[in-house]
Amino acid sequence: MHTAIDLKVFYFGTPVVLITTRNPDGSTNIGPMSSAWWLGTTCMLGMNDSSRTARNMLRERECVLNLPSAEQAAPVNRIALVTGEPEVPEHKIARGYTHEPDKFGAAGLTEQESEIVGAARILECPVQIECAVVDAGPFFRPGITAFQADTRRVHVDEDLVIPGTDYVDPLKWDPLIMKFCEYFGEGQPVHSSELARGWRMPHHMGEPEHLRAPAPAG
Ligand SMILES: Cc1cc2nc3c(=O)[nH]c(=O)nc-3n(C[C@H](O)[C@H](O)[C@H](O)COP(=O)(O)O)c2cc1C
Examine residue 137 and state whether it is found in any structural domain, yes or no. Answer: yes
* Residues 6+ away with beta carbon under 8 Å from 192: 77, 205, 206, 207, 208
Domain membership of residue 9 (yes or no) is: no
| CA-based nearest residue to 44, from 36, 56, 52, 32 | 36
Question: Could you tell me the distance, in angstroms and rounded to a whole number, from the CA of residue 54 to the centre of ligand 1?
Answer: 10
Residue 3 lies in a domain: no
CA 32 to centroid of ligand 1, rounded, Å: 5
Q: Does any domain span residue 1? A: no
* CA 172 to centroid of ligand 1, rounded, Å: 27
- What is the Å distance from ligand 1's center to 93 Cα? 14
Residue nearest to atom 17 of ligand 1 (CA): 32
Each residue of 141-196: pLDDT tens digit? Answer: 999 999 999 999 999 999 999 999 999 999 999 999 999 999 999 999 999 999 99
Share the mean pLDDT of the chain: 95
Query: Does residue 6 sit within a domain?
Result: no
Let me know if residue 5 belongs to a domain: no
pLDDT grade for 216, boundaries at 50, 70 and 90:
low
User: Can you tell me the distance from the alpha carbon of 39 to that of 15, in angstroms, rounded to the nearest whole number?
Assistant: 15
Q: Where are the alpha helices (DSSP H) in the chain?
A: 52-60, 73-78, 90-93, 103-107, 194-198
Q: Is 31 in the pocket of ligand 1 (CB under 6 A)?
A: yes
Ligand 1 touching residue 46 (CB < 6 A): yes
Q: In a mutational test of the pocket of ligand 1, which residue from 16, 25, 34, 82 has the highest number of ligand atoms less than 8 Å from its CB? A: 34
Q: What is the CATH number of the domain that holds 190?
A: 2.30.110.10
Residue 100 belongs to what domain range?
A: 15-210
Could you say which DSSP state residue 129 is in? E
pLDDT per residue as tens digits for the range 5-41 = 999 999 999 999 999 999 999 999 999 999 999 999 9
Q: Which atom of ligand 1 is nearest to the CA of 144?
A: 11
Quote the number of domains for the chain. 1
More confident position, 208 or 95: 95
Q: For residue 90, which amino acid is it?
A: E
For residue 90, report the distance from its CA to the centre of ligand 1, in Å: 15
pLDDT in the model for residue 213: 65
Distances (CA, A) of 197 to 9, 96, 97: 14, 9, 11
